[in-house]
Amino acid sequence: MSTPHNSAEIGDIAERVLLPGDPLRAKFIAENFLTNVKQYNSIRNIFGFTGKYKGVPVSIQSTGIGIPSFSVYVHELIHVYGAKKLIRTGTCGGMHDSLKLRDVLIAQGSSTDSSIVHQTFGGAINFSLLADFDLLSKAVNNAKKLNIPVKVGNVICTDTFYNDYSDANGTFTSNGLTLDEKMIRYGILAVEMESAALYLLAAAAQVQALAIFTVSDHIIRKEHATAEEREKDFSDMIKIALDTVVEE
Q: Can you tell me which of 12, 15, 180, 192 binds ligand HPA, judged by CB under 6 A? A: 192
Whose Cβ is closer to ligand HPA: residue 72's or residue 191's? 191
Measured from the CB of residue 218, what is the shortest distance to ligand HPA in angstroms? 9
Rounded distance between C-alpha atoms, residue 195 and residue 156, angstroms: 9
Nearer to ligand HPA, 161 or 186 (CB): 161
User: Total number of residues binding ligand HPA (CB under 6 A)?
Assistant: 10
Residues 6+ apart with CB under 8 A from 62: 19, 20, 21, 22, 23, 25, 26, 46, 47, 48, 73
Backbone angles phi, psi at 58, to 5 degrees: -140, 140
| Binding flag, residue 92, ligand HPA (CB under 6 A) | yes
Q: Angle at the Cα of 158 (from 143 to 129), degrees rounded to 5?
A: 60
Which of 172/246 has CB closer to ligand HPA? Answer: 172
Q: Is residue 161 a contact point for ligand HPA (CB under 6 A)? A: yes
CA–CA dist 149, 216 (Å, integer): 16
Q: Are 15 and 83 in contact (CB under 8 A)?
A: yes
d(CA 23, CA 38): 15
| Interacting residue with ligand HPA among 29, 86, 191, 240 (CB under 6 A) | 191
Q: How far is the CB of 73 from ligand HPA (least distance, A)?
A: 18
Q: Closest approach of Cβ 219 to ligand HPA, in Å?
A: 5
- Segment contacting ligand HPA (CB under 6 A): 6-14, 145-153, 204-212, 213-221? 213-221
DSSP codes, 13-74? S-SEEEE-SSHHHHHHHHHHH-EEEEEEE-GGG--EEEEEETTEEEEEE---SSHHHHHHHH
Check binding of 219 to ligand HPA (CB under 6 A): yes
- Decide if residue 20 touches ligand HPA (CB under 6 A): no
Query: Which of these ranges, 80-88, 91-99, 135-143, 237-245, lies near ligand HPA under the rule CB under 6 A?
Result: 91-99
Query: Is residue 91 near ligand HPA by the rule CB under 6 A?
Result: yes
Range 208-243 burial, b when 16+ CB lie within 10 A, else e: bbbbbbbbbbbebeeeebeeeebeebbbbbbbbbbb
Mark 113-152 with x for binding to ligand HPA (rule: CB under 6 A) and - for no binding: ----------------------------------------
Residues near ligand HPA, by CB under 6 A: 91-93, 161, 191-193, 216-217, 219
